Amino acid sequence: MFEGHVNAVQLVATYGTDDQRQTLDADLAAGSVYGVWNTEPNPGLEIRPDGDLRWVLGGAKSFATGAGHLDRILVTARNPEGLKQLVLVPIAGETERADNAGWQVRGMRGTCSGRFDFSGLVLGNDALIGGPGDYEREPRFSAGAWRFTAVQLGAIEALVRHLRDHLVQTGKGADPIQRARFATCLTETRSAGLWVRRAANLAETQAAEAIPFVLMTRGVVEEAGLKTMEAAARSVGTASFFAASRIDRITRDLGLYLRQPVPDQARDRAAAAWLEDDCWGDDRWW
């Protein structure tokens, strides 16, 4: 939820007009919560002109995190020319448009990431943020993925803390096999943290290497998450599968949240860029 809020705020601050930025400031001061919904079921969301200076929305969004709970949502919608346009929609109180019945997932149920139907909502010109294509404008679009890697890292670090507590409290930490497994979790997690920190830096300073670096970071963090979840299950055993266990909750949430768009293609794009040139930044090694 917070990652989506930050993303929306950054997009409005970057592509909005002065008036739209002022409205954003006032909203944030009042405690409004924003989000971004891009993912959609076919045929997707569209905006059509509705007389002078007005637009009408048609269609729905899926994976709509916070559906029924957010105040304003930044959506991508297809304009009459077929291009992606950012539209800021006030949705506070529009609970009947949210449908979370299908959000029957193993983890992250609390995010209410169901479906939201925008059909028939009418908006003024001031709802359009930036121009067509701004949402996917690079490097902001691909490099912005560093934010979800940070969220994933937070869950992985929490998992390592719970695993450590378990090993200390049960005395299992005296066992060299348990220690070896714990060492793997530590190095995976700390190494992933280094990648995420640098990815954040490169992305937020719009450095040339930001995109391949963030794409590679996605895979590094995914691997760290998968290895740590597996290690926690093996070290703690069945106790980690009970609903009351924090390890169970984190594993269910993280397991789903690791599933971000086109992971294989992200890693492949990163590897191709690294074949061309070292993308680490200043301290190059070739």
Q: Which residues bind ligand FAD (CB under 6 A)?
A: 4, 35-39, 63-65, 108, 111, 113, 256-257, 259-265
Minimum CB distance to ligand FAD smaller for 167 or for 270: 270
Minimum CB distance to ligand FAD smaller for 263 or for 281: 263
| CA–CA gap between residue 24 and residue 18 (Å, rounded) | 10
CA distances from 105 to 1, 15, 22, 108, 113 (A): 17, 34, 38, 7, 10
Closest CA to 120 of 64, 197, 171, 55: 55
Least distance from ligand FAD to the Cβ atom of residue 105, Å: 7
Minimum CB distance to ligand FAD smaller for 63 or for 280: 63
Least distance from ligand FAD to the Cβ atom of residue 188, Å: 21
Minimum CB distance to ligand FAD smaller for 100 or for 184: 100
Least distance from ligand FAD to the Cβ atom of residue 131, Å: 20
Least distance from ligand FAD to the Cβ atom of residue 253, Å: 8
Minimum CB distance to ligand FAD smaller for 172 or for 267: 267
The amino acid sitting at 170 is T
Least distance from ligand FAD to the Cβ atom of residue 35, Å: 6
